[in-house]
Amino acid sequence: MDLQQSTGDDKPARKIQQRSALTQQKLLDAAIEAFSENGFRGTSTREIANRAGVHHPLITYHFRNKDRLWRASVDSIFREFSAQLVATISEVAGLDPKARAAALIRCYVNHSSRHPALHKVILQESSAPSDRLDWLIETHLRPMYDSWVQSLVELQDTGVAPQGNPALLYNMIRVSAGGLLALKLEVKGTTGIDLDDDRHIDELADIIIRVFLPNEPPQ
């Protein structure tokens, strides 16, 4: 009897937890959209609450303040991207170094196409020095750079990738993909190329691979 009573009492608590988790996700989704479009300074918590369709005080309840909400939003963006990279790395583990790098570039291009906030947030924060930019670099961007640049050095050593500063090469690849996709509205207006079209995304990935990984690995 006590077990039945306990189980019954747990149902309202579970419903409250589910509603709380749903509200948090709504706020994160709205914040990612708002911060990527308008930047940190150009976004108010009231605007985020309106986008999420929730009461404004719930932002303070769940995230305390705008800065914490911004960091939680960025964590969410990069967590999803990292999961996609890990899945791709697992799928291509048995391939040669060039094929692995090409697969990661395709993953990067496709994910950036589906989630332009990944680079829009970086562009927004890179316009001026700030504690947020420092945190973004140390928490997410530098670890990603450290893991990619070593692979590029190895590809340069085997003649697959062009010679030159590997840090510049890394950033050229990154901007060729994410930076271009973050500007897709301007690209469409200027050139007529619709980067929401999968055909153009595939072509973009192909061109990046041909330009930055032009040679075959030695047998």
pLDDT digits (tens, 9 = 90+) for 18-30: 888 999 999 999 9
> CATH second-level architecture of 1-64?
Orthogonal Bundle (1.10)
pLDDT above 50 (res 1):
no
Q: Please name the fold of domain 74-219.
A: Tetracycline Repressor; domain 2 (1.10.357)
Evaluate if residue 9 carries a pLDDT over 80. no
Position 123 pLDDT exceeds 50:
yes
pLDDT at 132 over 60: yes
Lowest mean pLDDT segment, chosen from 1-5, 15-19, 80-84: 1-5
Query: For the segment 22-71, what is each residue's pLDDT rounded down to a tens digit?
Result: 999 999 999 999 999 999 999 999 999 999 999 999 999 999 999 999 99
> Measured between alpha carbons, how far is 45 from 94 in angstroms, rounded to an integer?
47
Burial class (CB in 10 A: 0-12, 13-18, 19+), 56: middle
> What is the arithmetic mean of pLDDT over 177-206?
95
Do the beta carbons of residue 62 and residue 27 sit within 8 Å?
yes
Which of the residue ranges 7-16, 60-69, 101-110 would you say has the lowest mean pLDDT? Answer: 7-16
Indicate if the pLDDT at residue 212 is higher than 80.
yes
Query: For the segment 136-150, what is each residue's pLDDT rounded down to a tens digit?
Result: 999 999 999 999 999
Average pLDDT of the residues in 117-123: 94
CA-CA distance, 34 to 40, in Å (whole number)? Answer: 8
One-character DSSP codes across 37-59: HHTTTT--HHHHHHHHTS-THHH
* Percent of the chain topping pLDDT 90: 89
Reported as a pLDDT band with limits 50, 70 and 90, residue 2 is: low
Per cent of the chain over pLDDT 70 is 96
Q: Select the highest-mean-pLDDT range: 152-156, 175-179, 182-186.
A: 152-156
Structure tokens at 155: 């590809």
Residue boundaries of the structural domains of the chain: 1-64, 74-219
pLDDT value at 184 more than 90: yes
